[in-house]
Amino acid sequence: MARRLALITGASSGIGAAFAREYASRGWDVALVARREDKLTALAGEVEAKHGVSTLVITADLADPGAPQTIVDAVAKAGRQIDALVNNAGAGQPGHFCDTSWDDQARFLELMVTSYLKLMHLTAPGMAERGFGRIINISSVSALVPTAKAHTRYSGTMYPGIKALLIKASEALGAELKDKGVHVTAVAPGYTWSEFHDVNGARETLSNVPGYWMLKAEDVAASGYDAVERGVPLRVPGAFYKFMTGLARILPDPLARAVMARQEKTIEGK
C-alpha cells in the first residue's frame, strides 16, 4: 500500500516544519507548502534522507485567493491524494486595525481564514469518501483567554477572533465528519519559538516573558499529531497553557481580565 500523504502549509519554518518532521518520522509522505522554495527543498531533502519518505514541494502565496486550488491541483498532478491536511501557515498583521488599509486586512483574512477553509473544502469530501482523513487547524491560546492589547499589537487586532473561528470551525466539521473516519482538531499553542515573532517584530518584547511560557515547535507538533489521531477536537499543548486556559474558563470574566492585565504587564516588561 502506498504511504499516506500529509499536506502541511507554512512548512518552511517553525511549527509547520516541525509538523513535517513529525509526520515524516511516522512514515507519512509529506507535501510542503510555503513561499520560500529554498527552505522547503532543504527540509524535503532532510526528511527524505532521514525517514525514507517521498516529498512534494509546492510554492504558493496563501494570501492569493487562487492558491488553495493550485496547491490541490499540484498534488493531483503528482498522482497523489491528501490524507492529512495541516493548516498552519500564518503571520501577524501588526498595527492598529484603524490604521491599516482594508487591502492589508483582506490579505490577512485570506491567509489566516479563507485559505484554511478553502483547503478543508477542497480536501474533506475526498477524505470522507475514502473513509479516512486527518485535519489540523493551528489556532492560538489567544482565542481562549481574554484579549489583552499586548497580544494583538503584533499579531493583529483581529488575530484572536480569527483563531477563535478556527476552533469552532474545527469542532463543527469534526462533528459533521465523525462517522466518516475523518478527525478534525484545532491546536491552540501559546508562545512558541519560531520565526513568527521575528516577522511581526515582537521578538524583543518576548524576551520579557518567563522561559516556561515558551513552547518548542516540535512539542506543539507532537501534541497536535497525538490529538488528531485520538480524534480530540481541541488541544492546548503544554501544562502551563492548559492551566491558563482552564483558569480562564472557570474564573468570572472580570477576574480573568484582571489576570490578563497582570500578564500584559509582564509581556510589556513593566
Ligand X SMILES: NC(=O)c1ccc[n+]([C@@H]2O[C@H](COP(=O)([O-])OP(=O)(O)OC[C@H]3O[C@@H](n4cnc5c(N)ncnc54)[C@H](OP(=O)(O)O)[C@@H]3O)[C@@H](O)[C@H]2O)c1
**Residue 140 is placed in which grid cell?**
492560538
Cβ-count burial of 5 within 10 angstroms (0-12 exposed, 13-18 middle, 19+ buried)? buried
Kindly state the smallest distance separating residue 34's Cβ from ligand X, in Å: 4
> What is the separation, in whole angstroms, between the first and last Cα of the chain?
58
Q: Which of 191, 213, 225, 241 binds ligand X (CB under 6 A)?
A: 191
Q: In the complex, what is the shortest distance from the CB of residue 87 to ligand X, in angstroms, rounded to a whole number? A: 8
Among 41, 51, 54, 91, binds ligand X (CB under 6 A): 91
Which amino acid is located at 112 in the chain? Answer: M
Residue 57 touches ligand X, criterion: CB under 6 A = no
Residue (4 or 140) nearer to ligand X, CB: 140
Nearer to ligand X, 195 or 226 (CB): 195
* Catalytic center residues: 159
Q: Which of 93, 123, 170, 192 binds ligand X (CB under 6 A)?
A: 192
Query: By C-beta, is 10 or 133 nearer to ligand X?
Result: 10
Residue of 6, 7, 10, 93 interacting with ligand X (CB under 6 A):
10
Q: Is residue 160 a contact residue for ligand X (CB under 6 A)?
A: no
State which of residues 85, 86, 111, 145 lies at the interface with ligand X (CB under 6 A): 111
Give the strand order in the sheet containing 182-187.
55-59, 29-34, 5-9, 84-87, 133-138, 182-187, 234-235
Residue among 13, 55, 93, 185 that touches ligand X (CB under 6 A): 13
Q: Which stretch binds ligand X (CB under 6 A): 14-22, 41-49, 119-127, 259-267?
A: 14-22
Q: Is residue 158 a contact residue for ligand X (CB under 6 A)?
A: no
Size of the residue set binding ligand X (CB under 6 A): 29
Q: Which of 19, 23, 154, 196 binds ligand X (CB under 6 A)?
A: 196
Q: Residue of minimal CB distance from ligand X?
A: 14
Considering the rule CB under 6 A, would residue 116 count as an interface residue with ligand X? Answer: no
Site for ligand X in 23-52 (CB under 6 A): 34-36, 39
- CA-wise closest residue to 60 among 126, 127, 124, 118: 118
Q: Which stretch binds ligand X (CB under 6 A): 12-20, 42-50, 221-229, 234-242?
A: 12-20
194: contact with ligand X by CB under 6 A: yes
Contact positions vs ligand X (CB under 6 A) = 10-16, 34-36, 39, 60-63, 88-91, 111, 138, 140, 189, 191-192, 194-196, 199
